[in-house]
C-alpha cells in the first residue's frame, strides 16, 4: 500500500470523531458502544456486566484492513516483559507473536525489546540517524514529543479498522498533536493503593479499611512506623524515572496541583501549577513522611516501584501504589521463597488488599497511563517503511482481542470494545482486585499532551522531590525552582 492509498483510505473512512473531548477522564467521555455516557456509572459492577457480551473474529477484522496474504517485513521496538514481570506476560507475548504469524504468515517482524528507562533515548538517537524502527509500542507520555519532532507517521484508529470512539478520550489526547493523530492506544494503565492488612492490624488500624484521604495515608504511615517499626508507605522519588511521577502526580492533582493545568476540565497547558498551593501541600506531605515521620523506606530517593516489592513481600512495608499485576508478582515471589521466608511471603499474599487511591480536597486522581502503537515516518526508517505490514501489525495489536490479552496481568484494554469480550470476562473472574484498578479509570488524568511532558514528568518533578526531601531546598523553594524550569522549558 502506498502513502497515497493510505491517505485515500483515511478520507473514505471519515474524519476523527468531531466530539472528541479535550477533558480528562471522569468528565463525560463518550461510550465505546451505543454513544451513551458510560463514565457516570463506570463501576466494577458495570464493567462486570458488559463483559462477555460481544464476539470478535480478529482475523476477519484485520482482513478488512490488510489482506491476510500480504507479504512484508517490519522492525518493532517495545518494552517487553522483564525479570520483574509476571511470567504470564512472557507467555502472552509469545502467544501474540504466534497468533500474528498464523494470521499474517508472510509478514516477518524483527522484534527489539528494550528497557523502559532507555528506549526513548535510543529512539531519539536512531531517528536522527535515519535508523528508526518501522513501528513501536511506546508509552503515551512520549507521543507528543515524537510527533512534534516529525518522527511519526499519521495514524488514526479508523486507519486500523476501529472507531475513535472505541478509545478513551484521555488516551486519544496523548496521540494528538496540532490537530493530527499519530497513533492508536494499545492499553491503558490505572493503579490503586495496595496494603498489608496484617500490618494494619499490628498498628491498630482497621485491616479492611484503607486510608480514605491523603491526610489519612500520612497518618496511617506514621502509625505503622510508630507501632511496628516498619515502613508505612512506599514512597518513590528516584530521579529520571517514570515511576516517580506516576505516584506523585495523583497526590498533587488530589490537592489541586499538577505540572500545568492538565487535571482541569479544559486544559490549555499554559498555566504552570507545579508551584501552586496544591502541589506544595502534596510535596509537604511527602517531606513529612520521609523526613519528619521517617515512615517511608530510607531508600525512597533511589527507589522505583520494583524496589518496594521485596520489602512488601517480606512484611516490612505497609502501603504502596501499583498495578493489578503486583498481586501476580507477589504470588510469584512467594512461590520462590523458602523456609521462614516462604511462611512470611504466603501470609503477606493472604493479607494483600487493593483499594482506591486516596481522595484529596479537590479530587481523587490517578495517572491515565498506557502505551500506544506508532508507525515511524518513512524518511527515518532504515531501508524505508513497509506500510502494509505496519498496518497489519497495528490492526492485530489494537483490536479487542489483543488489547485485552496483552494487558492481562496489569492494565486495561486500550480498545474499549475489549471490555465487552469473553477474554475480559475471564480476566475479571481470574484476577483478584482487577475491578478496583479498572474502576480507577474514571479518575484518570493524562499527563500534559505536549512535547515537553517527558522532561517535566521524568526530570523536573523527581528533581523537585529530591531537592525538598534531601533538605537542599525548602518545599516552597523546590516547587518554585521547578516552576522556573518548566517556564524555561516551555519558552525554549
pTM: 0.78
Provide the Cα torsion 345, 351, 352, 356; round to 10°. -160
The whole-number pLDDT of residue 441 equals 86
Q: For the chain, how long is the longest CA-to-CA vector?
A: 68
The answer, yes or no, to whether residue 451 has pLDDT greater than 50, is yes
User: Percentage of the chain with pLDDT > 70?
Assistant: 92
Task: Enumerate the β-bridge partners of residue 465.
Answer: none
Q: Are 173 and 411 in contact (CB under 8 A)?
A: no
- Highest mean predicted confidence (pLDDT) among 19-23, 25-29, 339-343: 339-343
Give the span between the Cα atoms of 385 and 108, in whole angstroms: 13
Work out the pLDDT band at 398, boundaries 50, 70, 90: very high
391 and 332 co-located in one domain:
no
Digit-coded pLDDT (tens) for 452-480: 998 999 999 999 999 999 999 999 999 99
Domain shared by 82 and 208, yes or no: no
Please check whether residues 244 and 137 belong to one and the same domain. no
Same domain, 168 and 281: no
Q: Which residue has the higher pLDDT, 382 or 413?
A: 413
Domain that residue 69 falls in? 3-190+368-445
Q: Which residues are CB-neighbours of 463 under 8 A, at least 6 positions away?
A: 239, 482, 485
Task: Return the pLDDT at 321.
Answer: 97
Give the whole-angstrom CA distance, residue 92 versus residue 252. Answer: 35
Which pLDDT value is given to residue 169?
84
**Whether 138 and 24 share a structural domain:** yes
Write the pLDDT tens digit of every residue in 75-89: 999 999 988 788 889
Q: In the numeric block, which cell numbers belong to residue 39?
A: 463514565
Q: Tell me, yes or no, whether 343 and 438 share the same domain.
A: no
Inter-residue contact 326 to 306 (CB < 8 Å)? no
Q: What is the pLDDT of residue 53?
A: 97
Indicate if the pLDDT at residue 355 is higher than 70. yes
Q: Among all chains, which residue has been given the C-alpha cell 486516596? A: 358
Q: What is the mean pLDDT of the chain?
A: 90
Per residue in 130-183, pLDDT (tens digit) is 999 999 999 988 999 999 999 999 999 999 999 999 998 888 988 999 999 999
* Residue-level pLDDT at 16: 27
Residue tagged 515512615 (cell numbers): 295
- What domain count does the chain have? 2
Domain identity same for 441 and 461: no
359-385 pLDDT, tens per residue?
Answer: 999 999 999 889 999 999 999 998 899
Provide the CATH number for the domain around residue 381: 3.40.190.10
Residue 407 and residue 468 in one domain = no
Co-location of 335 and 348 in the same domain: yes
Q: Please check whether residues 314 and 353 belong to one and the same domain.
A: yes
What percent of the chain shows pLDDT beyond 90?
77
Band the pLDDT of 24: cuts 50, 70, 90.
very low
Regarding whether 322 and 289 lie in a shared domain, the answer is yes
Query: Residue range 432-452: average pLDDT?
Result: 88
Q: 72-78 and 135-139 as β-strands: parallel, antiparallel, unpaired?
A: parallel
Last residue of a domain, one of 445, 462, 477: 445
User: What per-residue confidence (pLDDT) applies to 325?
Assistant: 82
List the single range of 6-10, 85-89, 237-241, 330-334 with lowest mean pLDDT.
6-10
Supply the pLDDT for residue 19.
Answer: 26
For residue 255, what is its C-alpha cell?
490537592
Whether residues 309 and 392 share a domain: the answer is no
Set of cell numbers at residue 421: 469480550
Helix (H), strand (E), coil (C) string for the chain: CCHHHHHHHHHHHCCCCCCCCCCCCCCCCECCCCCCECHHHCCHHHHHHHCCCCCCCHHHHHHCCCCCCCCEEEEEEECCCCCCCCHHHHHHHHHHHHHHHHHCCCEEEEEEECCHHHHHHHHHHHHHCCCECCEEEEEHHHHHHHHHCCCECCECHHHHCCCHHHECHHHHHHCEECCEEECEEEEEECCEEEEEHHHHHHCCCCCCCCCCEHHHHHHHHHHHHHHHCCEEECCCCCCCCCHHHHHHHHHHHHCCCCCCCCCCCCCCCCCCCCCCHHHHHHHHHHHHHHHHCCCCCHHHHHCCCHHHHHHHHCCCEEEEEECCHHHHHHHHHHHHCCHHHHHHHHHHHHCEEEECCCECCCCCCEECEEEEEEEECHHHECCCCCHHHHHHHHHHHHCHHHHHHCCCCCCEECEHHHHHCHHHHHHHHHCCCHHHHHHHHHHEECCCCCCCHHHHHHHHHHHHHHHHHCCCCCHHHHHHHHHHHHHHHHHC
Among the listed ranges 35-39, 193-197, 372-376, which one has the minimum average pLDDT value? 35-39
The answer for 232, left when phi > 0, alpha when psi is -120 to 50, beta otherwise, is alpha
Confidence of residue 261 (pLDDT cuts 50, 70, 90): very high
pLDDT at 37: 63
Cα gap 477→482, rounded to integer Å? 8
pLDDT of residue 25: 32
Helix axes 306-313, 339-350, angle to 10 degrees: 100
Stretch 35-52: mean pLDDT = 78
Amino acid at each position: 500500500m502506498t502513502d497515497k492509498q493510505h491517505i485515500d483510505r483515511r478520507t473514505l473512512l471519515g474524519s476523527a470523531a468531531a466530539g472528541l473531548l479535550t477533558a480528562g477522564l471522569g468528565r463525560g467521555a463518550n461510550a465505546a458502544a451505543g454513544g451513551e455516557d458510560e463514565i457516570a456509572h463506570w463501576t466494577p459492577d458495570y464493567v462486570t456486566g458488559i463483559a462477555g457480551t460481544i464476539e470478535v473474529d480478529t482475523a476477519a477484522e484485520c482482513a478488512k484492513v490488510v489482506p491476510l496474504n500480504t507479504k512484508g517485513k517490519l522492525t518493532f521496538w517495545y518494552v517487553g516483559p522483564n525479570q520483574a514481570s509476571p511470567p504470564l506476560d512472557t507467555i502472552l507475548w509469545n502467544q501474540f507473536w504466534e497468533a500474528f504469524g498464523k494470521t499474517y504468515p508472510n509478514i516477518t517482524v524483527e522484534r527489539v525489546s528494550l528497557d523502559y528507562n532507555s528506549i526513548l533515548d535510543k529512539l531519539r538517537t536512531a531517528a536522527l540517524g535515519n535508523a528508526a524502527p518501522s513501528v513501536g509500542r511506546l508509552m503515551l507520555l512520549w507521543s507528543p514529543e515524537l510527533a512534534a519532532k516529525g518522527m511519526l507517521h499519521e495514524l488514526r484508529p479508523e486507519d486500523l479498522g476501529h472507531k475513535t470512539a472505541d478509545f478513551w478520550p484521555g488516551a486519544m489526547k496523548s496521540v494528538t498533536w496540532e490537530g493530527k493523530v499519530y497513533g492508536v492506544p494499545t492499553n491503558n494503565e490505572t493503579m490503586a493503593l495496595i496494603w498489608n492488612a496484617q500490618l494494619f492490624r499490628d498498628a491498630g488500624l482497621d485491616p479492611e479499611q484503607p486510608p480514605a484521604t491523603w491526610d489519612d495515608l500520612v497518618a496511617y504511615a506514621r502509625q505503622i512506623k510508630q507501632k511496628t517499626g516498619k515502613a508505612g508507605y512506599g514512597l518513590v522519588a528516584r530521579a529520571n524515572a517514570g515511576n516517580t511521577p506516576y505516584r506523585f502526580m495523583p497526590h498533587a492533582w488530589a490537592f489541586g496541583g499538577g505540572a500545568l493545568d492538565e487535571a482541569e476540565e479544559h486544559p490549555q497547558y499554559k498555566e504552570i501549577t507545579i508551584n501552586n498551593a496544591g502541589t506544595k501541600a502534596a510535596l509537604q506531605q511527602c517531606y513529612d513522611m520521609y523526613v519528619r515521620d521517617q515512615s517511608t523506606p530510607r531508600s525512597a530517593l533511589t527507589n522505583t516501584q520494583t524496589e518496594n516489592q521485596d520489602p512488601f513481600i517480606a512484611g516490612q512495608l505497609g502501603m504502596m501504589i501499583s498495578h493489578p499485576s503486583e498481586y501476580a508478582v507477589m504470588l510469584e515471589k512467594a512461590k520462590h521463597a523458602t523456609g521462614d521466608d516462604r511462611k512470611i511471603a504466603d501470609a503477606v499474599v493472604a493479607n494483600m488488599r487493593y483499594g482506591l487511591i486516596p481522595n484529596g480536597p479537590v479530587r481523587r486522581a490517578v495517572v491515565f497511563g498506557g502505551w500506544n502503537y506508532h508507525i515511524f515516518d518513512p524518511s527515518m526508517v532504515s531501508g524505508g517503511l513497509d506500510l502494509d505490514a505496519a498496518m497489519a501489525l497495528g490492526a492485530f495489536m489494537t483490536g479487542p482481542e489483543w488489547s485485552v490479552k496483552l494487558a492481562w496481568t496489569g492494565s486495561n484494554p486500550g480498545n474499549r470494545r475489549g471490555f465487552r469480550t469473553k477474554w475480559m470476562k475471564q480476566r475479571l473472574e481470574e484476577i483478584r482486585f482487577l475491578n478496583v484498578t479498572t474502576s480507577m479509570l474514571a479518575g484518570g488524568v493524562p499527563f500534559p499532551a505536549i512535547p515537553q511532558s517527558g522532561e517535566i514528568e521524568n526530570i523536573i518533578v523527581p528533581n523537585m522531590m529530591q531537592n525538598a526531601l534531601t533538605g537542599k531546598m525548602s518545599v516552597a523553594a523546590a516547587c518554585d525552582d521547578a516552576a522556573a524550569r518548566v517556564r524555561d522549558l516551555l519558552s525554549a
